[in-house]
Amino acid sequence: MTKPPNNPEAKSAAPADAEAVDFIRAIINEHMANGTYQQRVHTRFPPEPNGYLHIGHAKAICIDFGLATEYGGKCNLRMDDTNPCKEETEYVDAITEDVRWLGFDWDNRLYYASDCFGQMYDYAVELVKRGKAYVDDLTGEEIREYRGSLTEPGRESPYRTRSVEENLDLFARMKAGEFPDGSKTLRAKIDMTSPNVNFRDPVMYRVLHAEHHRTGDEWCIYPMYDWAHGIEDSVEGITHSLCTLEFENHRPLYDWFLEQLGVHRPQQIEFSRLNLTYTVMSKRKLLRLVQEKLVSGWDDPRMPTICGLRRRGYTAAAIRALVAKVGITKFKSTTDVALLEHCLRDDLNRVAPRAMGVLDPLKVVITNYPEGQVEHVAAVNNPEDASAGTRQIPFGRELYIERDDFMEEPSRKYFRLAPGREVRLRWAYFLTCNEVIKNDAGEVVELRCTHDPATKGGNAPDGRKVKGTIHWVSAEHAIDAEVRLYDRLFLKENPEECAEGEDFTAGLNPDSLTVLSGCKLEPSLADAPAGATFQFERLGYFCVDNRDSAPGHVVFNRTVPLRDAWAKIAKKEAPKQARKPASKTEGVALIGIDDFGKLKMKTAKIIAAELVPDTDSLLQVQVEIGSEQRQIVAGVAKFYSPEEMVGKTVVVVVNLKPAVIRGVESNGMLLAAKKKRKLRLITVDGDIPTGASIG
């Protein structure tokens, strides 16, 4: 039997002279160095096929498959189909499509938990024979009552003392279908007084007469996840079982089951989930949005599902880039969705061909251009990729421009088209507006303009300059299209923050979708395939809808606007120039004793620390304040390494409003003293316990 180290995180840091790595790679490096698992790396991605994958799963997919590839190992795809009431083949098919689209392959290693149902049952019988499991008649509610709480020990079931023979007989009859749903369970016999409630005789099997999507009605007892998880990993030869943080307290149970069976035991390692602002990740809540028709389906482009992101025009490369930037940590944090959009723009800017489209068309007639004449102008397909070449765009007497590219009475900083003003038509000519045509309601319906034939290509031989460049399409050749402008689905950064009596749906954005009809696009887009993405110049990135677009009815989805909010955020959060400190005490602003009294300070012990991804000055630290744990972001990385921070007892301001710093949530502030270029944390010596008040 292969066993991982007894203390899996005792040496989670890389050697001092090695390049810094995250804690999972550090553990794997140690295993590779000491020969654990015969220097193999074998991971798995084990989704439950009860819904569609979302971008949170994408992080796990990238980590599971990515690490296996990095270390020359393997990664299995496993469907954790232990709950027949919620699982469907539809979800299995969607999961496999999503994982492949993200760029990963499992070769011939697609497995199902149901593949192991027979092995799991045999192992359970073995534990019963050894007195390590028993059949219980308590109801689900009674089991919860007997389990106790975090502060009170549990009580033993009155059925816990059944003989091995009776338990074997009852368990066989459970399997044979003699008992109704919920009437009996098989429970592990561990310790009802354990401080870890997961050890208080956890349920291994429940009676459930339901048809399974693969095994039909062969089984009427189904294993619980804690029992099934480790066995599946063991049978498949997994070496590193990577999970999200909510399974951290379940790890001892994972190990206990495999130790009792004496079989191969992988190393379970937990990392933090991916959370995004303006987004919900709960499958239950996403399902509710679908069922209540608050969105059009699982692949609605506003949904954080992988199929929804794909339909909106997101690329697999952008999602993989986000996961790389966020990194692997054990800290609970929320990433600004603007970072995801930044990764997407960065990728699409390199790969998306350019095109011109007019979403709110205003007709332009070039009065000095010959009627019936058509010429073609050359346009660059992608300025970031010379190999993409050029295309020919038709140009004629009548064009469409964007309505907001014209202003009858322009403001001082408006440089686009206006009466008497000259602008550049992208790739074509200089254009001057001479006359404005309005309808009876006083609305502008047409512009009469002239062009300068000598400026073809966008430059004037006489060297004169224009400040404005606008896009256009030929009225005669343009294709009609429907364009859907998508925005964030929720109005609040944290959709879970709701007023009393409301739930997360109260925060839905009523303007998350705007449908535009009668849009005019250049003719090269008429045959664009479903899913193809383009940059509509000056507007943003758009893709052909993969469900509703059809010949004669072209539908484009806006993937993301051109404006990059993350770049602005990063600029704001960049270290500001140091201000010259006041040379006299009199220059320091004074506060009253009442203001100082509002600060609540307590002692805290730092139990973990690591760099905030993509920064060199910020550490995210986990502190223990009495019985409470918090995460705090502190700008001390240039003065303390993560290893130096761990174990210090420091002073923390505990009543500050939570803040998100570089995508990481911070709840408090470490106190430090700084003079010139030196900084020292204020620490506490002696026997003062954590959580003690200061002041």
Catalytic residue from among 48, 97, 166, 398:
48
Between CA 319 and CA 656 the distance in angstroms is: 33
How many whole angstroms from its chain centre is CA 390?
Answer: 36
- The pair of three-digit structure tokens given for residue 517, joined into one six-digit string: 């009809």
563 is known as an active-site residue: no
Catalytic residue from among 273, 325, 488, 492:
273
Which backbone phi and psi does 391 adopt, to 5 degrees?
-135, 160
Between CA 680 and CA 694 the distance in angstroms is: 18
Q: Residue 631 pairs with which residues in a beta bridge?
A: 622
Between CA 85 and CA 509 the distance in angstroms is: 33
Between CA 240 and CA 45 the distance in angstroms is: 11
Dihedral sign for Cα 232, 237, 242, 247, please.
positive
Between CA 418 and CA 400 the distance in angstroms is: 15
Which backbone phi and psi does 342 adopt, to 5 degrees?
-65, -45
Question: DSSP alpha helices (H): ranges in 237-281?
Answer: 251-261
Contact 102, 316 (CB under 8 A): yes
The number of C-alpha atoms within 13 Å of 463 and in the hemisphere containing its C-beta is 0
Between CA 626 and CA 612 the distance in angstroms is: 25
624 is known as an active-site residue: no
Between CA 495 and CA 169 the distance in angstroms is: 51
Q: Residue 608 pairs with which residues in a beta bridge?
A: 622
Of 219, 89, 197, nearest to 151 by C-alpha is 197
Of 471, 486, 453, nearest to 370 by C-alpha is 453
Catalytic residue from among 187, 283, 302, 330:
283
Q: What is the DSSP code string of 506-537?
A: GGB-TTSEEEEEEEEE-GGGTTPPTT-EEEET
Where do we find the tokens 């919920």?
A: 182
48 is known as an active-site residue: yes
Which backbone phi and psi does 82 adopt, to 5 degrees?
-100, 0
Active site residues: 48, 273, 283
